[in-house]
A and B are shown apart, each in its own frame.
Chain A
Amino acid sequence: MKICNAAQSLSGLFLMLSPLLHAQPTEALVSKKHMAFFKNYCLDCHDSDTEKGEVNLEDLSFKIRSIEQAERWQDVLDSLNSGEMPPEKKKQPRSNEKADFLDDLSQTMVTARKILSDSGGKITMRRLNQREYQNSLEDLLGVKMDETILPSDGGSTDFDTVGASLFLSSSKLEQYLSVGRKALDEFFLKRAARNVEPKVYRVEPELTLNVERDKKLKAFQNFQKRSQSLKNELKRVAALPENKEIIAKLRKKDPKLQNLWRFAGQLKAGLNPKKYGFKTIKEAYSQAVRVSKYQMHYASLPHNDKGTYLMLTTGHFLIEIKPKQKIPSGTYTLRVAAGVTEDSPTYRHFIEVGHPEEGLNRKGQLDGFPIKALQVRGRPGHPEVIETQLTIQKDTRREFVIRERQPTEWGALRKVHQKEVERNGYGHEPAIWVDWLELEGPLPEGESMVILDQILDAHSEKRVRDPYRRARQILSDFAVKAFRQSDPDPAFISSLLTIFKKQLKVDQNFDIAIRKPLSIILASPGFIFLHEPGQEGKPRALSDRELAVRLSYFLWSSAPDEQLLNLAKEGTLKNSKILREQVERMVQDPKAHNFASGLVHQWLDMERLDFFQFNGIDFREFDENTRAAAREEVYQSFLYLLRSEDQGEIHKLLKSDYVIVNGLMASYYGLKGVQGDHYRKVSLPPKSPRGGLLGMAAIHVMGSDGRKSNPIERGAWMLRHILNDPPPPAPANVPQISRLDGKTLSKRQRLVAHQEEPQCASCHRKIDPLGFGLENFDAAGKWRSTYEVDRSKLSRAARKKLKGVKPSKLDPSGTIYKGPSFANYFELRDRVHDRKDDFAQGFIKALVEYSLGRPFAFTDEDLASQIMKTAKRQDYQLVDFIHSLVQTKEFQSK
């Protein structure tokens, strides 16, 4: 019911949108209230009479309308910020007065820059960005190309959908040509493997690892036994009366006869080492065969006859699966039957899958980051089977390993191991027991949805005998699909055919010769540009086909599917109700994940999440698996709201009584009973700090430097992305506070100092209180109630550094600048939740930039308030922001 109403009112709005509704154009005005400041501190020297330093500010307009005026005001701002003006000898403004002026002026400058760079609602034709190109290729060829070889977006701070900032260069064009070819090679490999019978490759560790281990253990025990007998015999011989004299001599140098064996040759009735299986006596005293207590303990555990316990640092910590012959490209299932010990901590219930490191000096590391992390269920002796899918492409290494999850850097766990040995006598407690693992594949693809497969099947050799005719049909069909249902120039197809003919002579093989002309299609402008004809300054309505393309690149970051194109062909896509249905369908589709990750990553500026590596001792649980899962949690929380029928209020991202997590994140947050690697809604216990972005590990990691929390980073992030009040860009040339040089200050003292100097205070009075409100989260987003750390867990170097340092008190209380106070994190979160409208505004700006491909500008204010109005009427349901935007004239126009 609600949905129908909304659709009607929306289409009504669409028609009613008239110039009368437009808000007053925004102006970049330096507030008149600063006239006095200006007069008092600037114009004395810089009026038209004096023009000190050839600077005359008297004729400087308080309204900024041109780049030239903006530059002059920028100079005023810069010289105040640098402390250069007013000069020391002259009258100085009061601290507050200066901070306020700086605050206003820097905001005005932001406004001015925005006005001056406003594209006026223009949507520039855009090249497919990296994600879109990758997805579009996947739709056509069923192959996902590694992003590291794709043409990069780089070179701009705008969203990756902003056409004006996506450049093309000769090197990129060459990259398009070569990547297209690589993708086609992959495609044909996969196609060739379509009829391969899947095979199962199985590893039973008790038949490999355990046997190896037991052999070593047996050798060790045997050695011990023989060595002991030899030692006993030596003692006996030494005690013989005929050796009394020589022993007495030896005792003079070595009273306890510790080195007796060295002189065994001098003894009478000497002993024969060969009798004990040794070549020399020395050998019996050597440590040639060594087995650690760690290994012995693991060998003594139950269920070793059926499986093996994964070790963490030395011994059997990897189980390898490496089919003997080269297995074909395709999708494979990896299954692991395993269990976890009852009393091990939950963070140790995960295995990671990866490729083993290469090289001679292997330390058991993975080659790069883990591909997947899997949660182990079941118990030793009673395993449960977990499974995941792996993609194997041409260059994928055909050997995989599993191991218990570990910190990325090598060696951290060795130090932990040492501590464990001191405690329990052998080292890491056993956690994961593995019964077997198997790799099965390539899996049958079923009815192929891959476009090129369909085209090749439709024009098979059987149906079309003449290779040139066949090539022409394939190339034409493929071009139409690649160009998203628009027809290529016939001359283009002819030129491709010429290339094919030449190639066929060289290659003598249709399937190889056709790849070159196909790859040219993948580098031609019809594919790599989202192009819409238009007239400058005269927006026109998009055609149905164009709308389908815009919509699908918006919500799927990929090309429209059959259904969208069919609706476009019928000319019904623009129908408000049908459009609505399509949006509903599209957000439920798995491809909507592209939207969530693409938009949210940029909206929340999540690049910083990958900046720092956390050390494995202080942050044992924050490894690459957690980093990936923490990132996914943010996307999944967004998707949950987007797909929710009526529980999708956007401000649940500010506060909620649930989280959307998988087993790994649940373990990280200390939530019990969450099993498996898919994300689902989990209710939180009362008083939990989780629930909403401010409780998510990813957000806090972004606001850290990999070691410590960074309240400034966090506070500024909140202003930008939560409260829609972005601080102006960090000014150049602000002097640091020299009074504090060389002093050890607590974090908070240092930040209080920020507010002394007006240049700093103008921004930091807003930033710092917010950042400090989040201090209960450490660098990796774990909750803490004090700065005191468990020093026993720290590395020796870290402990040494902390010696004699008393932790300062953790005080999250504060006052939002010109706003309410809060006593702790929970109150801060409530105050932030009160400002859900600001949060929604910020989201709309991101949404507009992302969907229309232009930085949000003042031209878009009307559009934004329309979306806000509709969304508010729908109780801020996330999907209604999308509906509302998609139904607007702006979205549907070129």
Chain B
Amino acid sequence: MRPDINRGHFLRGTGALIALPALESIGFKSNASAASKKPSKPPKRMVFLGMGYGVTNETWFPDKKDTGFDYKLSEGLNPLKRHKKDFTIVQGCKHKYSREPHWGSTFWLTGANKYDTPGQSFSNTISVDQVMANAVGKYTRFTSIQLDNLDSKSGGHGPGLSLAWDQRGKPKPAFKSPLKTFHKLFSADDMPLAQRKSMIADRRSVLDSITIEAKRIQKGLTKTDVDKLNEYYQSIRDIETGLSKEEAWLGIPKAKAPLNAPTGKVRGREEIELMYKLIVAALQTDSTRVMSYRLPVGNLLASIGGGRNPHNVSHYKPGETMESSKKKDKAHSELLAGLLDQLKATKEIDGSSLFDHVTVAFGSNIRSIHHMDNCPTFISGGGAKIKLGQNLVLPKDTPLNNVWLTMLQGSGIDVDRHGDSTGVVKELLV
């Protein structure tokens, strides 16, 4: 190999910074519960659950006039009754640039303007979960974990591979099956350490090779094409970062699974239930601190006897389709209540519960039918010091990004804006 074009030079040359996990830093070892030393203080986590098409307008939202802490729970949220003090419904928010009434997830966590880049018909920006991941991802084996379902095309989620979009506004991939997620999280690598080290070295030399070729291609390309090729370089860099991370974690075994590997094919309601268990397991073992999940829509409906056509149900009219839509809301609330039960029941090292250190946001960019204002927003958990237990009605068309910003700041992330946010939501602060 020619010494003048090794990867290290190249990476330094293009100014890439590989965030190597700082093994000696307090952040790392004391927070990695996967490591032998248990953390002294539980870390903050964030979970986003996107449902694609929205809710049943008439029955999901609590009365807008009945605000505050002593409000009457709506029919759609009733299964969450036992947790009423522990979640807040935020009303009145929207993303002002979101105008695609069948895209419930694409811009939900970003609030980007699809048309923002001249000369392109689509653009997006970083999603709130990835802002968090950029800050805390270095402390865990997985920087963030995205989950998705198997029929995400027809569920009103819109373009994307998950809820997450990276720093450059590109879609982040997800695990689609519970079983795969389980194996990624917990299945041990039984290869001897020396061999794994040598494999990492092998993979590095592969990256070296393809970098040589990328530089050949680069000669004479237009600026736009160089930008495209940069995706290739970026991918190499990301793999490199991953390898470094893997290397740093080589000596530390994966967390012991707090649940059994899923068996059989589950679809819809059971699939969500299982994924929720895996979310709790991943957070509990501090395998990651940032998770997002694009919930199944078609399969959920099919599994609860709600018909087979998510689009029709989302455009419900009084009668059969509206009943299906209500059934879907009810199922979601029941599942959410189950998730909160588990979060509360899971104990942290200091005796507090996992619930106290996580923030869960559930919702969509679509309210219901074709409406994209008053996005359904459900927030729970003590991780971001959000004031829970209220039906909070904000001024009409408050940027949804204000809510996301509040969550970020409350979780200790040092940012002063997210997307088109105009400030934190004071009413949500304890």
Contact = CB atoms under 8 A, between A and B. Distances in A.
B160 A155 contact: yes
Contacts of B206: 177, 499, 520
Nearest to B238: A170
Given A167-B231, A498-B1, A733-B371, A705 B159 contact: no
A104 B317 CA distance: 29
B231 A124 contact: no
Contacts of B369: 736
Contacts of B153: 607
A706 B298 CA distance: 13
Contact of A520 (B115, B120, B209, B239): B209
A529 B217 contact: yes
B170 A116 contact: no
Interface string B296-324: 00000000000011011000011100000
Given A78-B99, A611-B154, A169 B229 contact: no
| Chain B interface residue bracket vs A | 35 or more
B375 to A, nearest CB: 11
Given A168-B232, A705-B312, A732-B371, A156 B205 contact: no
Contacts of B215: 489
Nearest to A124: B224
B38 to A, nearest CB: 31
A122 B205 contact: no
Contact of B308 (A607, A706, A736): A706
A113 B101 contact: no
B242 interface: yes
Contacts of A398: none
Interface residues of A, number: 74
A489 B120 contact: no
B228 interface: yes
B154 A168 contact: no
B86 interface: no
A565 B361 CA distance: 56
Contact of A494 (B1, B225, B231): B1
B208 to A, nearest CB: 6
Interface in A594-626: 607, 611-613
A55 interface: no
Interface string B133-162: 000000000000000000001100001110
B15 interface: no
B232 A736 contact: no
B153 to A, nearest CB: 8
Interface stretch (A198-206, A377-385, A530-538, A633-641): A530-538
Contacts of B210: 520, 523-525
Interface string A699-736: 00000011000000000000000000000011111101
A270 interface: no
A157 B159 contact: yes
A174 B241 CA distance: 13
A858 to B, nearest CB: 12
B225 A742 contact: no
Interface in B211-253: 212-217, 219-225, 228-229, 231-232, 234-236, 238-239, 242
Interface in B348-375: 369-373
Contacts of B311: 705
A82 B117 CA distance: 27
B318 A742 contact: yes
B121 interface: yes
A332 to B, nearest CB: 29
A117 interface: yes
B216 A526 contact: yes
B66 interface: no
B122 A156 contact: yes
B338 interface: no
12 contacts: A169-B235, A172-B235, A494-B2, A498-B1, A523-B210, A534-B225, A536-B223, A730-B101, A732-B98, A732-B372, A733-B371, A742-B319
* Closest 7 A/B residue pairs (Cβ): A533-B220, A170-B238, A125-B225, A173-B235, A168-B231, A155-B171, A524-B213
Given A173-B235, A526-B216, A730-B370, 12 more contacts: A125-B228, A164-B224, A169-B172, A169-B235, A172-B235, A177-B206, A489-B213, A495-B212, A498-B205, A529-B229, A536-B224, A731-B99
Interface of B: 1-2, 5, 97-102, 113, 115-122, 153-154, 159-161, 166, 170-173, 202, 205-206, 208-210, 212-217, 219-225, 228-229, 231-232, 234-236, 238-239, 242, 308-309, 311-312, 317-319, 369-373
